[in-house]
Structure 1
């Protein structure tokens, strides 16, 4: 499908991260051994880390690896390409061999090792990173997802202040609008900007896929002077997969929590515990599926992200939605 005024670039520009980039660069060049960029899925940690490494590539020898859940079961899985055949099968010998391979620099330049999603590395790979710091053999640039468990060796890097931990937050509204305008070549009109913000809340990954999806579907149009979004989004395809991945597997009890909030948001916490299992609510809070907003003396439960509600409402039958609304109303109602 061809469209006029197509998206400017496949890799979106880095907007609104000047301060984070400055602090991350200072951490790499300072007395500590590097930086850990932490944040929720989709806020732009990976993009920021790549930009950081690009700015430092003239001075440093850069190594880059991305951890995955599937490779976590393999010892040294994230560093497989740096395990020499001569390392044998002894784990400690393999760790030392990988440390030497990563820190080797043909031009005798300092080395930076970047690992995306470092919370997913196996224990031996975590030991490699710890050894790189202990030996002062390389600087580190790591990304981790906030709230996710990580190997002790990784957590110890920032807890013991060996590296600096920098929180990467979602974009602010103004930054989100500027990013959309830059990508589309025209500023979004006020209703479009408002809708995009209400749905994505500064999550760059969600914003990118929503814009590209709606552009491809012909609902997001670029006109002289502005970009206009018509119609309603259908959360499917890649965007739906991304939302599913961020939410994770939902047990029936967890699904009931999310769906109850999705149909009646915001819900008073005292009302919600009369409708759902309290342990499931605690787990939903811990996983970021829902969140608590303290308004005065009241605790209101909202979804962890607006798109969770979009996808759950889209996939739930009208009859179930009506039943859930009725249960919430019978238990005390929603907040006006």
Structure 2
């Protein structure tokens, strides 16, 4: 695998954190001493992980995360925190001494890891910060965290158009014009990863132009479909309804259609 210089820069310099001041304060209060924690849910790409990362910055926090490839391996998400073979009871004992535990992508947890998170919430000794995507299947033990009122739940909405414009302004140092802000907000549909890929592609292809006498920048012209943009939008084209698939195939060969 090769990594371009741009990719390295992008990894080392995340965009500024903006637009979630109230949510950030809520999460921080939820993981202070005497609190049990909180569950943060929301659509894919809306900034859940970035929010909780900012919330625990500078704290002594253990981390675990679910992955698609390990959903059938017991306690896979906690492999780095537990010995090779443990029972659920022993795993709870070992992790009860952890003061703060961040569990990312909890919708991808294996059943044993999900049960462990639930039992830690029941015991109440470990403050939990759990992140899960909405609109996808979630292990029952995870959904019981909020449905069983063990932990409060924060449902994180996508950034609004104005908040998206603020983020683009912070990233570029210059505000976009209203039309460009609306366009990028509509195309990204609240997915901040896609927003960044789109913006990066537009900038690198020289499609940004200064708007005279306004101090703003604008993007006009076609959408640059780079490999990264195509990867981020693949789920949009993964249709299951036959009529949608037929429409896409017809458009591919005979656009435009009424």
Please tell me the root mean square deviation across aligned C-alpha atoms, in Å.
3.0
Query: Does 1 or 2 have the higher relative contact order (CA < 8 Å, sep 6+)?
Result: 2
| Aligned pairs (5 A) from 1:100-249 | 100-104=93-97, 111-221=99-209, 225-244=215-234, 246-247=235-236, 249=238
2:14 is matched with 11
Do the aligned partners of residues 186 and 103 (structure 1) sit closer, same or farther apart at CA in structure 2, a change above 3 Å counting?
same
Instruction: Give how far 1:113 is off.
Output: 0.8
2:89 is matched with 96
Contact map agreement 1:28 1:139 (CA 8 A) in 2: yes
Instruction: Give how far 1:161 is off.
Output: 1.1
- SS, match of residue 138 in structure 2: coil
Contact map agreement 2:104 2:130 (CA 8 A) in 1: yes
Instruction: Give how far 1:100 is off.
Output: 3.8
Do the aligned partners of residues 194 and 152 (structure 1) sit closer, same or farther apart at CA in structure 2, a change above 3 Å counting?
closer
Instruction: Give how far 1:2 is off.
Output: 8.9
| Aligned pairs (5 A) from 1:47-126 | 47-54=50-57, 57=59, 61-85=60-84, 87=85, 93-104=86-97, 111-126=99-114
Contact map agreement 2:41 2:133 (CA 8 A) in 1: yes
Do the aligned partners of residues 21 and 258 (structure 1) sit closer, same or farther apart at CA in structure 2, a change above 3 Å counting?
farther
Instruction: Give how far 1:164 is off.
Output: 0.7
Contact map agreement 1:215 1:221 (CA 8 A) in 2: no
1:90 is matched with none
Contact map agreement 2:122 2:150 (CA 8 A) in 1: no
- SS, match of residue 218 in structure 2: strand
Contact map agreement 1:171 1:201 (CA 8 A) in 2: no
Figure out how many residues of one structure are paired with residues of the other and give that number: 251
Contact map agreement 1:117 1:143 (CA 8 A) in 2: yes
State TM-score, norm by structure 1.
Answer: 0.66
